[in-house]
Amino acid sequence: MFARVFTAMGTIVSVRLPEISDTEALPVIRKLQHIFAALDGRFSLYRPESELSRVASGTLALPQASPELRAAYAEALLWRQHTDGAFTPHRPDGVIDLNGTVKATAMQQSVDALLASGISDWCLNVGGDVSVGGVPAANSAWTVGIVDPANRAALLCSVVSNGQKNSLATSGTAERGDHIWRSPGTAARYAQVTVLADDIVTADVLATAIVAGGADMLTRATERWPIDVLCVDCDGTLSATPGFRAALAPARRGSE
């Protein structure tokens, strides 16, 4: 099992490749690092020299921005439309912030790079958002843990990959506090939302949208997209779609 951890976009990236040697894996890892670095260099609002920071400061007009930036912004606006405004690429002060899609885009590009390199078995974990492919070993499956928002040192539960909906994203307060923008007057309903989807961008965007939009957005999301969802209410109550419950790993003996 080849495993490598590196830092990108202000978080930890973990890559596990079970069926590849160190020699074969290192060029692939460098490719993934380049993907994250390139997107962070263009879209980070923490880097004053980034293209998006220059748009935010007014030194670069949006129509003169690169095709890559304008395409990313257009994609985020489309997600805003699809989620009836629950997901938005705009901060309350109007600044364009593409953090809600860029990390997932980097993950999806990394998955595409793994596939292009002939790698079919992988686990890519970026700050708790996970995409898996294949299996870790013969007669086994990837198992992904979900952090407990009330105790970051503990797991709330784990899910087992079944070859479908192999992307998992969690949004909420556990990692970064209450950073999600809501419409004025919208009370927080969920402390944490985890979404299983076919691709990581859909999983990540909809997890954020459900936290922002509450129960109404949860209903719309599960009706419009083939996803499964686990929600942790602010009072600690858990709720999950039938598909999510079916994906849960069995509880270990002595830990029920």
> CA 108, 167, 79 angle in degrees (round to 5)?
65
Cβ count near 71 (within 10 Å):
11
Given a cut of 50, the residues of the chain with pLDDT beneath it are 253-256
What's the mean pLDDT when you consider all of the chain?
92
> What CATH number should be reported for the domain whose range is 2-247?
3.10.520.10
Q: Which two tokens stand for residue 205?
A: 């965007």
- H-helix or E-strand containing 244? helix 242-247
Q: Which residue has the tokens 């979900």?
A: 146
How confident is the model at residue 184, as a pLDDT? 55
pLDDT given at position 255: 36
* Residue 168 Cα to chain centre, angstroms: 7
Measured distance CA(211)–CA(189) in Å, rounded: 7
Domain ranges of the chain: 2-247
Q: pLDDT value at position 175?
A: 54
Query: Backbone phi, then psi, for 191, in 5-degree steps?
Result: -80, -30
Largest CA distance in the chain: 60
